[in-house]
Structure 1
């Protein structure tokens, strides 16, 4: 939904303990979404064949067909007919700020999923991205990755607000990559009590996104690399921008490119989503992608990324 105003003008900081606010919205759209679904969709558009793991309800058939047609392996998705698939209900204001609610639905059952049988069926995992889901499921999957030796990317995102410090520590420790936005990273430090140096000792590479300011990559040796955004032609809807960034990043990373180039492709896909009304409404055009990569990062970057891009 869209609120034609600014949340900051409607919410009184000194009255937060008594908050009772409603917003008259002027638009409503219903879209496919979800962290895992958005990332899998974008990876499919980019010519990859990710394995989607999660729990869904009786209403997933149409969504499943879209993903299957893109080459996403949905064999790791478990269906429960007595609930709906998880829902994200979001209102965005004119400043691109958001207020949202989650309906857990089938997501609460994802803790019943074991990764090892899926890994055996698909021939092993290159990297497991553990995104926002049921907290017990996130912890179970993380512990299984450590136990089985699967490389994993910790991406707790929205669920950090719900996790306590010990849970957050369990999700991060041993991650090959830690990806958060700047607010989530500060929240992680607060909840765990860790310093930035202690986080660095727990993970291989930390990547923190800063919205319109870009992203910073902090490697295990302390090397920092800033990656700019791809300037948008317009800002339509920020929902799913972070998921798109991750898909672009993983696509280039999986092709053997370095962290900076991977983040630059992530920046491009994130901008495509920002310019679209919904996280899966963007379209792909290789020539346009190369033009925008050249404009944002230069000819050399576009040349390096070109072999990774699908026709």
Structure 2
């Protein structure tokens, strides 16, 4: 199964605030917020949702194709992605803008406040999928991850027009999207990915109930942090998969992207939704226990151990034929 991933490529500036954001918020003054948080740590890391998903898929051996826009400062980042099995030939390089920036502060409760500068990502709306898909001989799924909103709309429309199966992952961009745009991004998706908060926002933006959404997509996958993952399909009982155990969260950035990659790898290998979600959860814990969305190391024995501890020997045995060969 060949997967193309569209969305953001970014450099992450990750800071840690040792206090709690909630303790700094004054009731009745939230419409006039002016706060500065003194951070104890700063890490500058490679990131961007599409790049994070593609890198994890590459490390799992799926040779993903990355379709995105970056700046003239992308050379080193591109070499890194290629060394991890990602096809970057279809990354558009801007002549005037730098690669996008993600600036994020995390507090003691793992809450985050972030700002995203689009940079070269603003040019992603000019990209067409068909030349890349023709170049690689076809793809089985296009992931439409957070990106320039115009690009997300264009890629979704092209997928429907040309008959490409796609996964909708609007995530953080839901805050920028109106009702019509959100409905357009969801309609016809084979998979829809959200977290719990984004699921509520999506229902608010679209005006659709959960049943309405499920009438329009194949499978709705909602991540719920420590509460695991909910997988819903029309006319079937929802499936809940518990989170994999973790030794502690060092940095939450990129955990959801790793889950998506693990889940999609499971789908590519024909394992089924429950097992796919288990791999996604296990891979997410690897990322959560490291600082930065791409700085983690993956080993088959480690993933199998996490699957065994979280889901039992049968789950680990299901994955064992795949992981030693692919990692």
Question: For the superposition of Structure 1 and Structure 2, which TM-score range results when normalised by the shorter chain?
Answer: over 0.9
Which of 35, 46, 60 in structure 2 is aligned with 1:32?
46
Corresponding residue for 1:284? 298
Cα distance, 1:247 vs. partner? 0.6
Looking at structure 1, the residues matched to 57 and 171 of structure 2 have their Cα atoms a distance apart, in angstroms, of: 19
2:73 and 2:26 map into 1 onto residues whose CA distance is 39
The reply to whether residue 232 of structure 1 matches residue 239 of structure 2 is no
Tell whether 2:176 aligns with 1:162: yes
SS of 1:124's equivalent in the other structure is: coil
Question: What does 1:139-158 correspond to in 2, within 5 Å?
Answer: 139-158=153-172
Query: Which residue in 1 is equivalent to 2:134?
Result: 120
Give the match for residue 260 of structure 2.
246
d(CA) in 1 for partners of 2:277, 2:288: 16
Correspondence for 1:270:
284
User: Which of residues 289, 294, 312 in structure 2 aligns to 1:298?
Assistant: 312
2:229 maps to which of 194, 200, 215: 215
- Paired residue for 1:93, among 93, 102, 107? 107
Residue 255 (structure 1) aligns with: 269
* From 29, 51, 59, the counterpart of 2:65: 51
CA distance in 2, matches of 1:12, 1:37: 37
Give the distance between the partners of 1:197 and 1:112, measured in 2 at CA.
34
2-side partners of 1:13 and 1:210: how far apart? 27
Cα distance in 2 between the residues matched to 1:206 and 1:13 = 36
CA contact (8 A) 1:251 1:308 kept: no
Q: Structure 2 matches for 1:174-185, cutoff 5 A?
A: 174-185=188-199
CA distance in 1, matches of 2:221, 2:80: 30
Shift of 1:13: 3.6
Equivalent of 2:87, from 73, 89, 92?
A: 73
- Number of residues paired by the alignment? 311
Does 1:111 pair with 2:129?
no
TM-score, length-normalised on structure 1? 0.99
Q: Which residue of 2 aligns with 1:22?
A: 36
Where structure 2 has 5 or more consecutive residues not aligned to the other structure, the ranges are: 1-14
SS of structure 2 residue aligned to 1:28? strand
Partner residue of 1:205 out of 219, 231, 247? 219
Deviation at 1:70, TM superposition (A): 1.4
2:12 corresponds to: none
CA contact (8 A) 2:219 2:231 kept: yes
CA-atom RMSD in angstroms: 0.8
- For 1:30, what is the secondary structure of its paired residue? strand
Runs of 4+ off more than 6 Å: none
Alignment partner for residue 187 of structure 1, among 189, 195, 201?
201
Alpha carbons 1:239, 1:279 under 8 Å: kept: yes
Q: Which has the higher contact order (CA 8 A, sep 6+)?
A: 2
Alpha-carbon shift at residue 3 of structure 1 (Å): 0.3
1:222 to partner: Cα distance: 2.6
Structure 2 CA distance, aligned partners of 1:287 and 1:182? 31
Distance 2:130 2:28 in 1: 50
